[in-house]
A and B are shown apart, each in its own frame.
Chain A
Amino acid sequence: MFGAIFIPCCIVALIGYSLIKKKNAYNSFVDGAKGSFDLALSMFPYLVAILIAIELYNQSGLNKILSQIFAPIFSTVGIPSELAELVIIKNFSGSGSLALLENIFKNYGVDSYISMCACVIMATSEAVFFVSSVYFCKTKIEKLRYAIPLALFMNFISAIFSCFICKLFI
């Protein structure tokens, strides 16, 4: 596929380019990779907090309750009620929503309208709570002001548009 060929090609080109520029690609690579442990370490506490919340959210059945509450609201703006759970979990966790997407494929068929909407919703939104805590993990920012409400609102808007535009393509 496109992605499978594209990235390795870029890497070959990059290493080739550094040979032309007479820079030591090996030293640069090792030097850069050194920072990875530090980065993973500073993200870790935030990941623990988020993943504990997600685990509790799923195990307690809060996901079912919330999606039941929001489903009628969602369906008035054109989001099928089957997708309520996905639209909500998508804000918290990327991997959790991938698992849910697989379920949707299984239950409704991969080429159905529901699955298509789910795919577009997945591809056009990102886990807000993940981004908002991980991206700021090395700063001393405590107050994100209007960022989270706005990001959540935009995810909601993108879900509405996804369902609307998929109707035109089915």
Chain B
Amino acid sequence: MNIVWITITCIGLIILIITNPNIAFSCLLNGSENAISLSLKLWAIYAVWLGLLKIMENVGLDKKIAKLLNKPIKYLFGKVPEDAKTQISINLSCNMLGMGNASVPSGIKAMQLLQGKTKFATNAMIMLMLLNTCNLQLFPATIIGMRIFAGSKNPSVIIIPTLLVSTICVFISIMLVKIFSKIFKDKE
């Protein structure tokens, strides 16, 4: 992240200094402004989802989902604390139902619970991140909505290809993380 950010920012700025120096600084401000409006939007979304998730937690529904997903989580993540398991299962089920925004708060909580004493990410954390970047979902609602809006004759034609591709990719990711965790053991 570090290297990528520095590279993009520096190269971007250098190009702008050569081609169009007037907008160079306003780009930074624009980016920051976008971040404000995005975080306000996310604040609103998370307020709703965190509220609903708390209701789930208080009626014990989150533990039930965790129990349901206990076996796959145990296989994927190895030994993790019980409360992390709960957050992971909420994160994964929100993802699968296509509620990407709802999955972020539980993902962040899960990462907090998974971290060890070092500043190195553990293999379990990387597994969770990979499962999130693969975007496993049963129903790509946002994209289908956009297709309908654009006047597609057959908006839902993408469902089966999407399912196929994401299943294959999730499978490959899991295998690769498993292989990499054998090669790079967690650092103590």
A77 within 8 A of B: no
B31 touching A53, Cβ below 8 Å: yes
Secondary structure type dominating chain B contacts: helix
- Listed stretches A28-36, A68-76, A79-87; interface member: A28-36
Interface hits, A34-72 → B, CB 8 Å = 34-37, 39-41, 43-44, 47-57, 59-62
Measured in the bound complex, the distance between the Cα atoms of B62 and A28 in whole Å is: 14
Range, interface on chain A: 35 or more
B184 contacts which of A23, A62, A146 (Cβ < 8 Å)? A146
B83 → A minimal CB distance (Å): 15
A141 contacts which of B121, B148, B153 (Cβ < 8 Å)? B121
B54 touching A32, Cβ below 8 Å: yes
A124 touching B135, Cβ below 8 Å: yes
Measured in the bound complex, the distance between the Cα atoms of B46 and A98 in whole Å is: 21
A44 → B minimal CB distance (Å): 5
B135 touching A47, Cβ below 8 Å: no
**Are A124 and B12 also in contact (CB < 8 A) when A48-B31, A111-B152 are?**
no
Nearest 5 interchain pairs by C-beta = A32-B54, A56-B12, A52-B31, A123-B140, A40-B43
State the B residues within 8 Å of A (CB). Answer: 1, 4-5, 8-9, 11-13, 15-16, 19-20, 23, 27-28, 30-32, 34-36, 38-40, 42-43, 46-48, 50-61, 97-100, 104-105, 107-109, 111-112, 115, 119-121, 125-126, 128-130, 132-135, 137, 139-148, 150-154, 157-158, 160-162, 164-166, 168-169, 172-173, 176-177, 180, 184
| Extra A-B contacts (18), CB below 8 Å, given A15-B55, A32-B51, A48-B35 | A1-B145, A36-B47, A37-B47, A53-B12, A56-B9, A59-B23, A60-B12, A61-B19, A101-B146, A116-B158, A124-B135, A129-B4, A134-B104, A138-B112, A148-B4, A155-B133, A157-B169, A162-B165
